[in-house]
Structure 1
Amino acid sequence: MWGMFMQRDFEVVEREACFRGFYKLDRVHLRHRQFAGGMGPVIRRELFVRHDAVCVLPYDPQRDAVVLIEQFRVGAMDKAENPWLLELVAGLIDKDEEPEEVAHREAQEEADLVLGPLWPVSRYFPSPGGSDELVHLYIGRCDSEGAGGVHGLPEEGEDIKVHVMSFADAMQAVRDGRINNAASIIALQWLALNRDEVRGMWK
C-alpha cells in the first residue's frame, strides 16, 4: 500500500552543516522505518539545501505559442553538446514572496512579459535523492506579440534570450532533445494533455 509511512517514521540523529553560502550543504545522519518492519540502521546522506523554485511557461492561447528563454547553464557544460538551454521563465523564492508573485516578477525580468492568470500545474521535487528543492510549476497566460530580445539582470550576470515558438515547434523540440530540462518537458507535456481546456478557458 502506498503512503503507509508518515513523518513519525523517520528520525534525524544528527545534522551537520558542511557548507554555508547562497546554497547550503548538510550531512544528515538518520534512520527510517523499513518496508519489512522496524527501524533500519543509521544512514548518512548529504543534502543540498536550496530555496524553493518557481517555473512558469508563458502561453499565448490566441496564437497557440509559448515563450521560452535561452541561457547558459553551468550544470550542463560537461554533459551537453550545447550548454545554452531552452527553458521556462524561473526564479527562486528567496524573499517573503508567494510563488505566484515570483512567477510574475521573473516573467518581467527575464522575458519582459506581463503575465495574466496563472494555471497551477504541479509542485514536485526535481531531485529528492540529494536536494530538498521544491518546484512550483505554472502555465501563465501571455500575449506573445512583440516578445523577444535579450533580457535579465546584469548585476546577477544574466544574459537571457527570449524565443517565441509555436506549440507544435516546442513539442518537436522536446521530441528531438533540444529541450532537455525537466521543468520545460513537464510543462509542455502537461499543456499537450490539457491544451484544449486551457484554450477554452483563456480565449
Structure 2
Amino acid sequence: MNKLKPFPTFTKNDVKLTKTAPLYSGFFELIDYQFSHRLFDGGWSSSVKREVLERGHAVAVLLFDPILDEFVFIEQFRIGAYATSESPWLIEIVAGMIEKDEAIEEVCRREAFEEAGVTIKRLHKALSYLSSPGGTTERIHIYVGEVDASTAHGVHGLDHESEDILVRRATKLEAIDWLNEGKIDNAATLIALQWFLINEQKVRNTWHENT
C-alpha cells in the first residue's frame, strides 16, 4: 500500500523577506512587502509583491450578564459598510485598538465603559484570530466580559473620535435571531457570539469557580 507523501510544516524561517517599504501613512499605514517562500512540493516561490495594511491589533469584548441572561451590544456607523450594506449602522460588540505597552484586559475595561457605559466585573479569554491575513497584519483578541446589563443604556462614545454609539441589549434568543437574519454581519461579533454559544457553560463554570 502506497503511503501519501507527508507535506512539511512551515514557519517564519521558510520565508525570505527581501523588502519592506512604506507606501502611505495616515489613520492606517500601507506597506510594500516583497518576499519569497518555500513551496509544498519543494523549492522556493518566485518573488511576490503585496501591499499590506498595518492598522495595529485590537481587542473585542462580548458583554454578557449571566444573571439576566442578556448580551450588551452597541450600534454605530461604519463607513466600510456603506458600499455593500442596506444600512451602514452595524450591531457590534465593544472593541478598541491596543496601544503600545497596553495590557489587553485594560483595553477591554476601558472600551466597555467608553462605548457602553458599563463596568466589567470579570473577563474570560475566548480566542484570537487574524481579521484578513491576505491584506493586513491585524489580529483581534476576543474576550467575554461579565456585566450588569441593567446598567447599560443610552448613547456613548468619545467626541474627539467622532463616536456616536447606541447601546443595544438582547436576550440570547434575540441574539441568535439577529445572527440567523443577518442583522449581525461583522466578523468580530459573529465569531464572539458563535464561540460563546458553543462555550457558554465553560465560561459560567469558570466564573462560578472564581466567585
Mapped to 2, the partners of 1:14 and 1:155 lie a distance apart of: 36
Mapped to 2, the partners of 1:141 and 1:3 lie a distance apart of: 42
Three-state SS of the structure 2 residue aligned to 1:173 is helix
Three-state SS of the structure 2 residue aligned to 1:145 is helix
> Unmatched 5+ residue regions in structure 2?
1-5
Task: Confirm or deny: 8 A CA contact 1:61 1:202 kept in the other structure.
Answer: no
Q: Could you list the runs of 4 or more consecutive aligned residues of structure 1 that deviate by over 4 angstroms after TM superposition?
A: none
Among 155, 179, 195, the alignment partner of 2:200 is: 195
Matched residues, percent identical? 42
- Deviation (angstroms), 1:96: 2.4
Three-state SS of the structure 1 residue aligned to 2:72 is strand
Given the alignment of the two structures, is residue 129 of structure 1 paired with residue 134 of structure 2, yes or no? yes
Mapped to 1, the partners of 2:89 and 2:23 lie a distance apart of: 31
Task: Confirm or deny: 8 A CA contact 2:7 2:40 kept in the other structure.
Answer: no
User: Which residue matches 1:39?
Assistant: 44
> Unmatched 5+ residue regions in structure 1?
none
| TM-score, with structure 2 as normaliser | 0.93
AA aligned to 2:29 is K
Given the alignment of the two structures, is residue 68 of structure 1 paired with residue 102 of structure 2, yes or no? no
User: Which residue matches 2:150?
Assistant: 145
Among 171, 176, 184, the alignment partner of 2:176 is: 171
- Deviation (angstroms), 1:117: 1.1
User: Which residue matches 1:118?
Assistant: 123
User: Which residue matches 1:94?
Assistant: 99
- Deviation (angstroms), 1:11: 0.7
Mapped to 2, the partners of 1:66 and 1:202 lie a distance apart of: 16
User: Which residue matches 2:3?
Assistant: none
* Residue correspondences, number: 203
- Please tell me whether Structure 1 or Structure 2 has the larger radius of gyration of its CA atoms: 2
AA aligned to 1:191 is F
User: Which residue matches 2:17?
Assistant: 12
AA aligned to 2:94 is V
Q: CA RMSD in A?
A: 1.3
Mapped to 1, the partners of 2:128 and 2:151 lie a distance apart of: 31
